[in-house]
Amino acid sequence: MILAGNNTNKSIHGVLKSMAEDFVVDEVPLYTPLGEGEHLYLTVQKTNCSHDELIRQIARYFGIQPRDIGCAGRKDFTAKTTQQLSLYLPGQSMSVPDSIDQINILSYSRHSNKLRLGHLKGNQFKIRLREIESQFYPCIQQRLERLAAHGLPNAFGPQRFGNRGDNADIGRLWLLCDWDSLANCLLQGGEAHNQLAMDGEYQQAMDAWPFGQPAQRNILEQFVKGKDAKQACNKIPRALLKLCVNAFQSMIFNEVLSKRITDGTWNKLLVGDLAWKHEGGGRTFEVSDEDAQSLNIKNRIDSFEISPTGPLWGEKMRLPSRDVLKIEQSELRRYNIGPEHLQRMKKKALGARRPLRVPVKQISMKKHKDFVELSFILPAGSYATVVVDYLLNGEV
């Protein structure tokens, strides 16, 4: 996706995440813990540690189940990150250590509710880009200024779609109940164990299959027992299915955003749009004919008070109208998804609206001998890797 009106589309070579210290993320909390309540809030710092490993270690130390731990968002593996966790420990006075294995505990307090996804104002990023030739510094600075002025197209980054990039396909096939294709999608690949599975040698494939991939091993186990593809796919972990259905939602959103970037309306409101109030807690309102012609609406767009939204499809998603709805439905129909599939989706993803653009705040750029250091704040749910893609390629 190329930012409309951008005339600096030259690609720049740069290296991101050559070490954890090149990608630093600090949560900006939505609220301060009250100091009392059933939930223990920890501010933790991790380096080169996955989210799942973080939760496992904290749960094991405090003797609770992972489901009793809340967080406002998942953080990258190859990074140095700081975030809050909530632990459900009613009536328990716990000794809190300074660290648990490689996880540092910076502070702790108590609060009355569990942390939920999205319970944060945003994330502060400090990112180092290496191997950039100094002649391209002015171009990066120009692109930063453009982001500050016009905002960032709010695309989902590649990490949303899994290491193999097939999470959205898995989610789509599950929605379509295409069990044979779903099983094949999970089992295919370029390794010897993948080929064994494709050849129907399920026991040999399972014996050779690496641990850490429970969905694939569960499917193979069912095939070894003589079960069919539907029965095998019923053993896919629920957490993975939810992740993949979310990825399918995200793919459709990205495609709608791409269309609106192409036609120059990603930062404009059309009749029928659902406008997002950036300081309104996610509230939206439908744009009427009168609104679309209003100078007040134009001023609110220019001041980044409101923005158009795109679809995160699901049964509970509010529908736009007019041509906006036609655009969004056309992308969904490309994948043969209809109302019955949205009904099936409801246990994995209820649906929501997402702004097509977001502000990038407190932007700065420092030039060093071996790298360029960028600092900025993004709202919750937006991707720093999308910012980097634009800075290096002039597109997202």
Indicate which residues carry an active-site annotation: 76
Neighbours of 179 (CB within 10 A): 18
Distance CA 350, CA 127 (A): 34
Distance CA 218, CA 206 (A): 9
Distance CA 138, CA 396 (A): 19
- Classify burial at 78, counting beta carbons within 10 Å of its beta carbon; exposed 0-12, middle 13-18, buried 19 or more: middle
Nearest to 374 by CA among 114, 16, 29: 16
Residue pair 314/346 in contact (Cβ under 8 Å)? The answer is yes
Maximum alpha-carbon separation in the chain: 68
Q: Hunting for tokens 């740069």 — which residue is that?
A: 14
Q: Are strands 152-153 and 357-358 parallel, antiparallel or unpaired?
A: antiparallel
Nearest to 154 by CA among 384, 391, 393, 392: 384
Distance CA 377, CA 386 (A): 13
